[in-house]
């Protein structure tokens, strides 16, 4: 199966603050830390704990990259060995519509296309 080409299902562009019923399994305390960026549509993690530009938080005793957490809860399980890549090139973003599952080499390719180093 070609995971690289898999499209992410449409998710209504409702500000997460007002749509806690939108997705089950994402706690209110996480939604409260997501800020909608109206221009880009990015959902910016503002939880404070960041690592290499990615938002982080703990959930049920496990440390999560928030982009991976939101992807898992809204889109589904991340296929074994794949990374979650940002189509919007904003590591802080957790909007699943801006995320896709891909390989490490996709990531390098993306970076090269955008003229930066991986
Ligand atoms: Zn984004």
| 58-103 tens-digit pLDDT | 999 999 999 999 999 888 899 999 999 999 999 999 999 899 999 8
- Overall average pLDDT of the 5-32 stretch: 57
CA within 13 Å, CB half, 95: 23
pTM to 2 decimal places: 0.75
Q: Which residues surround ligand 1, an ion (CB under 5 A)?
A: 42, 88, 90, 93, 95, 98
Report how far ligand 1's centroid is from the alpha carbon of 97 (Å): 8
Q: For the chain, what are the domain ranges?
A: 16-113
**Higher pLDDT among residues 40 and 7, named by residue:** 40
Q: What average pLDDT does the chain have?
A: 79
Question: Which whole-number Å values give the CA distances from 79 to 28, 34, 101, in the listed order?
Answer: 26, 25, 8
Residue 34 predicted with pLDDT over 60: yes
Report how far ligand 1's centroid is from the alpha carbon of 98 (Å): 5
Is domain 16-113 annotated with CATH 3.90.75.20? yes
């Amino acid at each position: 199966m070609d995971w690289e080409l898999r499209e992410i299902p449409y998710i209504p562009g409702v500000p997460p603050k007002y749509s806690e019923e939108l997705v089950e399994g994402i706690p209110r305390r996480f939604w409260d830390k997501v800020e909608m960026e109206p221009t880009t549509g990015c959902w910016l993690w503002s939880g404070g704990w960041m690592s290499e530009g990615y938002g982080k938080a703990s959930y049920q005793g496990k440390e999560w990259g928030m982009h991976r957490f939101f992807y898992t809860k809204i889109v589904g399980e991340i296929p074994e060995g794949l990374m979650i890549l940002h189509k919007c090139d904003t590591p802080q973003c957790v909007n699943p519509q801006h995320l896709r599952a891909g390989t490490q080499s996709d990531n390098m390719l993306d970076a090269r296309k955008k003229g930066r180093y991986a």
